[in-house]
Amino acid sequence: MIHMPRTLPALRPLALGGLAVLFTLLPLRGELAPFALGLLAAARGREGWLVFSATALTALLFLPFSAALPHMACAVLILTAAAAFRGSPLLRRRAPFAAAAAAITASVGGIYVVQALDPVGELPGYVAFSALTGAAAYFFRPLLQGEKDPHGAVFLAAALALTAGEGTLLGISPALTLLALLLAAVPDPTGGLCLGLMADLAWGRTVCTAAFGLAGAALSLTGRRLARCAAFALAFVLLPGAPVGEGLLAALLLLIMPRRLLGGKRVLKAPPPPPDPTPALTAAWKRRMEGAARALRDVYESLSRPVGVNEENPAIIFDRAAERVCRDCALCQLCWQTDYTATFNAMNDATPALLERGRAMAKDFPPHFSARCIHLTDFLTAVSAELSAFLLRRQYRRQLEETRRSARGQYAQLSDLLTATAAGLGERVAAAPCRIGAALRPKEGERVCGDTVVSFPTEEGKWCLLLSDGMGSGEEARKESALVCRLLRQFLESGIAPEPALRTLNAAMQLRGAESGSFTTVDLCVYDPQAGEAAVYKYGAAPSYFKKGGAVRRIAGNSLPVGLRGTSAAPDVTKLPLTPGSFLVMVSDGVADPTRDEWLLDLLAGWEGEDPQSLANLLLAESAVQRKGCDDCGIQVLHCPRETAEEV
């Protein structure tokens, strides 16, 4: 494939300079040279200066002044824009700077159009040149970067053909014939339309776009080679004014051309699609996640092992104080050798008072010791200093142990998350349909409900229902409950199992609650249609209700809401069979008082409908009578239909 290799530093400048000179020497229709300006816009750094020098010098020496002046103005502006945006992300992308090059050409051309004797007649030519400049900058850029871009190579070949002019040989245009042959490299309608549009813009034609588009579509057809070549030739014959001779010659050349000339069998047939790498990538990511999970689990287990550090003995306080004060005392031998037992007991008796108060006083020691000590004041000062250091070391060790426990928990949770995610990779099951109803009502006097309800299917074919009740009511409560539902939904939709997801959410919300003081209930139902089972997870949530026929079962939990320090790591979990015709009703505590919910049990037991939304509306209306709107109300109802039905 044609590209500008970076491995030939001596030939590359010659190639760029030669292209710049050629594109400038042979301007389209005797005016601007859009391909030279596009090459300048695509070049960077020293190559940009090389192309600018080549095209500017060629324009000044060989073009008429009326053509050289607008060409030089465009070149200077393009080079200035490239210097001004050096290092900007805009310059690293093809499309924005290609559009900028087209806009610069259009702005310079606009000045000449306004001053022309026939502005309307001059306008199409300058619009065409601006479009070709932007297209050249777009397609030349990957070639200059050494990329193997088939579209850029075809564009370069087409530009060279168009620059050669409209000359004919025996009534046939070699340039148009070459353009038609280039369709074999891009056998599709889009490639044909682009090549035809290039010819129309460059030479002021109006039929090449349609003819080349139809010819490209003919080459993309499946079937025998002769039939495709015949359809290719027919595309030029059917359109009035199309280059019939060039099309027929190109069809003949394509028919006799060796298949390997332009890339093997791809000459009249698009290449087969590459194999789907998704299974291999999925397996690789699964292995990596499982390896990372094992590594994190090993770290967790290593942190869980005892480190062998014992609590420091308070006796070290008196030992160090005695080293500082008693070593040079006249009574040192008497106190610490002859009467060592009495001195040891005196220190031992004083220890509880010292640790409680945080400093030493004479009354902490027995009279026989304090009366005999001739350096008591210095000894008390030394003991107080050593006691302060002892307490600081104890506090540091306890904080370090708390940090170790927190780190162990985080490593364990992250390991569980990766393990659960890896287990779900590659498993894609369509979720069976179910029917869901939901209803919300804000507290009396509030405009916004602080509860949030969410339901969605997962890629494993399960249905998840979320109900969260934020602390308090109004907008702040709504933000907290919506945040919890959004985070938990992201975990579950990414394939993480409910329990690891909930434990991670609980740890995160505890950190958040330590600053804000807020907390939120979490009520999650995960329904697996394949197993016919539903699992209910609760963090401080109100009871849920399982209805099958006329029997109703209350599902409650004892855990605290997320965000509170005392909340256990694991939620309350209840699993139950959800057979066809049964209902699972989730409510917030604003709907019914958990200690006085007899009315709700009776209503569910006597209800004989099949529509979960009607049941949710009925519960919401009845709760307004029972609770008088004293709190936000949120309701979600999951119904397993007896026959296949769509979600409500």
Q: What is the DSSP string of 578-647?
A: --TT-EEEEE-TTT-BTTB-HHHHHHHHH-----HHHHHHHHHHHHHHHHTT-S-EEEEEEE--SS----
| Cβ atoms within 10 Å, residue 267 | 19
The confidence score (pLDDT) of residue 456 equals: 92
* Phi-psi label, residue 165: left if phi above 0, alpha if psi -120 to 50, beta otherwise: left
pLDDT for res 5: 46
**Pick the residue with more confidence: 455 or 105?**
455
Q: Is the pLDDT of residue 586 over 90?
A: yes
Q: Looking at residue 527, what is its pLDDT?
A: 94
Residue 645: pLDDT band (50, 70, 90) is very low
Most confident of 517-521, 535-539, 560-564: 535-539
Per-residue pLDDT reduced to its tens digit, 277-321:
666 666 776 776 676 667 666 656 655 655 445 678 888 888 888
Taking the CA atoms of the chain, what radius of gyration do you get in angstroms? 41
> 372 and 456, same structural domain?
no
Domain-embedded: residue 571: yes
Q: How many domains does the chain have?
A: 4
Q: Are residues 498 and 605 in the same domain?
A: yes
Residues 469, 602 within the same domain: yes
Helices vs. strands in the chain: H and E counts, helices first: 23, 10
Q: How confident is the model at residue 646 (pLDDT cuts 50, 70, 90)?
A: very low
287 and 233 co-located in one domain: no
Window from 13-17, 226-230, 237-241 with minimum mean pLDDT: 237-241
Inter-CA distances, 490 with 467, 480, 487, 627, Å: 15, 16, 5, 34
- Sheet hosting strand 520-528, strand order edge to edge: 451-457, 463-470, 520-528, 533-539, 572-577
- pLDDT value, residue 332: 87
Rounded CA gap, 325 and 483, in Å?
62
Are 230 and 336 within one domain? Answer: no
Please tell me which residue, 424 or 45, carries the higher pLDDT value: 45
Q: Which residue has 């004083």 as its token pair? A: 350
Judged by average pLDDT, the poorest of 290-299, 350-359, 466-475, 569-578 is 290-299
The pLDDT assigned to 442 comes to 92
- Which residue reads 């229902």 in tokens? 465
| Rounded-to-integer distance, Cα 72 and Cα 177, Å | 32
pLDDT of 82: 75
Pairing of strands 583-587, 572-577: unpaired
User: What letter does residue 264 receive in the DSSP assignment?
Assistant: G
Residues 368 and 455 in one domain: no
Q: Is residue 175 included in any domain, yes or no?
A: yes
d(CA 27, CA 583): 78
Q: What confidence category does residue 7 fall into, taking pLDDT thresholds of 50, 70 and 90?
A: very low
Please tell me the predicted confidence (pLDDT) of residue 2: 43
Least-confidence region, from 33-42, 160-169, 422-431: 422-431
For residues 223 and 221, what is the distance between their CA atoms, to the nearest angstrom?
A: 7
Write down which residue in 249, 269, 289 finishes a domain.
269
Pair (422, 492) in one structural domain: no
Amino acid identity of residue 362, one-letter, is A
Domain assignment present for residue 160? The answer is no
Show which of 426, 452, 487 is a domain's final residue.
426
Looking at 87, 115, 147, which one is the last position of a domain?
A: 147
Question: What average pLDDT score do residues 621-640 get?
Answer: 91
Q: Is residue 351 part of a domain?
A: yes
pLDDT digits (tens, 9 = 90+) for 183-195: 666 666 666 666 6
Q: Are 201 and 323 part of one and the same domain?
A: no
**Average pLDDT score over the chain:** 77
379 and 298 in a common domain: yes
Residues 388 and 335 in one domain: yes
| 318 located within any domain | yes
| Of the listed ranges 75-84, 135-144, 262-271, 505-514, the one predicted with least confidence | 262-271
Q: Which of 21-35, 352-366, 632-646 has the lowest mean pLDDT?
A: 21-35
Quick one: 259 and 321 in the same domain? no
Best CA proximity match to 425, nearest among 497, 337, 344? 497
Selection from 559, 584, 441 nearest residue 503 by Cα: 559
Q: Tell whether the model's pLDDT for residue 267 goes beyond 50.
A: no
pLDDT of residue 575 exceeding 60: yes
Ranges of H-type helices in 431-569: 475-493, 498-516
Angle of helix 46-62 versus helix 34-42 axis, rounded to 10: 160
Same domain, 253 and 284: no
| pLDDT level of residue 436 (50, 70, 90 thresholds) | very high
- Which H helix or E strand runs over 452? strand 451-457
Per-residue pLDDT at 310: 62
In this structure, what CATH number is given to the domain that contains residue 503? 3.60.40.10
Residue 156 domain flag: no
Supply φ then ψ for residue 591, to 5 degrees.
Answer: -80, -45
Residue 636's alpha-carbon distances to 488, 500, 536, 575, 584, in angstroms, are 17, 23, 13, 18, 8
Q: Is the pLDDT of residue 606 over 70?
A: yes
Residue 472 near residue 463, CB atoms below 8 Å: no
Q: Retrieve residue 552's tokens.
A: 């109703």
135 falls within a domain: yes
pLDDT at 239 exceeding the cut of 70: no
Domain boundaries, position 477: 435-639
* 157 belongs to a structural domain: no
Among 145-159, 199-213, 516-530, the minimum mean pLDDT is found in 199-213
Closest Cα to residue 589, out of 553, 648, 538? 538
